[in-house]
Amino acid sequence: MTRPKGTLIRNSTGTRLNHWLTAACFVLLVLSGLSMFHPLLFWMSALFGGGQWTRAIHPWIGLVLAVSYAAMIVQFLRDNLWSKDDIAWARTIDKVLANEEEGVPEVARFNAGQKMVFWSMTLLIPVLLVTGIFVWDYYFESLTSIETQRYALLIHSLAAIAAIIIWITHVYAAIWVRGSMRAMTQGYVTPGWAWRHHRKWFRSLAATGSAGPRPGKAADETHK
């Protein structure tokens, strides 16, 4: 992919592909899952070819998502480790929401909000995976007791709703913070975007002369 000169690599090609794989799975899971969750939304099962197909495909998509999300953890874990700065940033969330820059601490590659998304999903997806397997009748009907399955269904639903709410937040944030979307579609951001939203990250790139996404990495891309 061509990247305009002087821009920074926010997400590598591999990361972007994996992200969109995860995203696609997630969207499909939301649509199929919600159709089986509430009668008002059962019509969405038509998108999958009907209720039987929806029921059949949902767990398989879930498995793909589990794998892709595992890869995402590998890709993003280091930059999502919690630090003291995150607490300081979180304290200024009102300013962040108001699009104010003043007084908001400098942020590395991910801010505390993004890390919350990451860690929430990292927690919820295994829960969804395990409870999902418990209620995957075709293969695992006799793995657990019916009583366990009842609670698995309950937990699966609760976890899914939580994940959906987080996902909505994540999507909105991407829309709200302009330039973010391109960071995940084309993979690059302008130095100004980096300066504005992830100044610490920007400084570290600048200090090493790296084009991103990590300091010292992809130096070859810098000169493209």
Q: Which of 185, 192, 216, 219 binds another protein (CB under 8 A)?
A: 192
Active-site choice (19, 58, 156, 170) = 170
**CA dist list (Å): 71 to 4, 8, 66, 81, 144:** 28, 23, 9, 16, 29
Q: Find out whether 43 and 54 touch, Cβ atoms under 8 Å.
A: no
Q: How far is the CB of 98 from another protein (least distance, A)?
A: 6
Backbone angles phi, psi at 122, to 5 degrees: -65, -30
Q: Which of 13, 141, 185, 216 binds another protein (CB under 8 A)?
A: 141
Q: Which is nearer to another protein, 119 or 195 (CB)?
A: 195
**CA dist list (Å): 170 to 114, 130, 181, 196:** 8, 24, 11, 19
Q: Which is nearer to another protein, 77 or 141 (CB)?
A: 141
Active site residue 170: yes
Interaction between residue 119 and another protein (CB under 8 A): no
Q: How many CB atoms lie within 10 A of CB 60?
A: 11
Binders in 18-37 for another protein, by CB under 8 A: 35-37
Alpha helices in 77-145 (DSSP H): 84-91, 93-97, 112-134, 137-140
Interaction between residue 191 and another protein (CB under 8 A): yes
Distance CA 58, CA 116 (A): 26
Q: How far is the CB of 71 from another protein (least distance, A)?
A: 26
Q: Which of 17, 42, 200, 221 binds another protein (CB under 8 A)?
A: 42
Q: Supply 151's token pair.
A: 């609670």
Distance CA 182, CA 16 (A): 10
- CA 180 from centroid of its chain's CA atoms: 13
Q: Supply 4's token pair.
A: 């305009």
Q: Which of 47, 123, 207, 219 binds another protein (CB under 8 A)?
A: 207
Q: Which of 5, 102, 175, 220 binds another protein (CB under 8 A)?
A: 175
Catalytic residue positions, numbered: 170
Q: Which residues bind another protein (CB under 8 A)?
A: 35-40, 42, 45, 50-52, 54-56, 97-99, 135, 137-138, 141, 146-147, 149-151, 153-154, 157-158, 161, 164-165, 168-169, 171-172, 175-179, 190-197, 202-203, 206-207, 209
